[in-house]
Amino acid sequence: QVQLVESGGGLVQPGGSLRLSCLASRSSVSVNTMGWYREAPGKERELVASLTRTGTTNYADSVKGRFTIAGDSAKNTWYLQMTNLKPEDTAVYYCNARLTFSVYWGQGTQVTVSS
């Protein structure tokens, strides 16, 4: 069992930055892929960025060049650095950990981009 706790969401103006954190309750050694997803009102949950255990990253086209995913295995924490935020980035952001036979989700953190 892995518990994931997100933090760092909030209200930010367009063009601003936020860093989301996802703290895992156990060592990240067994995690194959860590991802950040988001779900906006009326829309399906979508993958924003992912990071594999071998360091391969993947980003949604809408966030390429603006968002960066990174991990700190010593702290069992993953991050999503978001810059140049746009109103369309407004959503609940979830972290996700994929192990060999199971998938875990955090409870989500709200990001609102508005002036």
Q: Say what the pLDDT of residue 52 is.
A: 93
User: What average pLDDT score do residues 97-115 get?
Assistant: 95
Give which of 45, 19, 17, 37 is closest to 113, Cα–Cα.
Answer: 17
Backbone angles phi, psi at 86, to 5 degrees: -120, 155
DSSP 20-68: EEEEESS-GGG-SEEEEEEE-TTS--EEEEEEETT--EEE-TTTTTTEE
Instruction: State pLDDT tens for residues 58-102.
Output: 999 999 999 999 998 888 899 999 999 999 999 999 999 999 889
pLDDT at residue 2 tops 90? no
Q: Say what the pLDDT of residue 37 is.
A: 98
- 34 with 23: CB under 8 angstroms? no
Q: Say what the pLDDT of residue 1 is.
A: 82
Region at 35 (left for phi over 0; alpha for psi -120 to 50; beta for the rest): beta
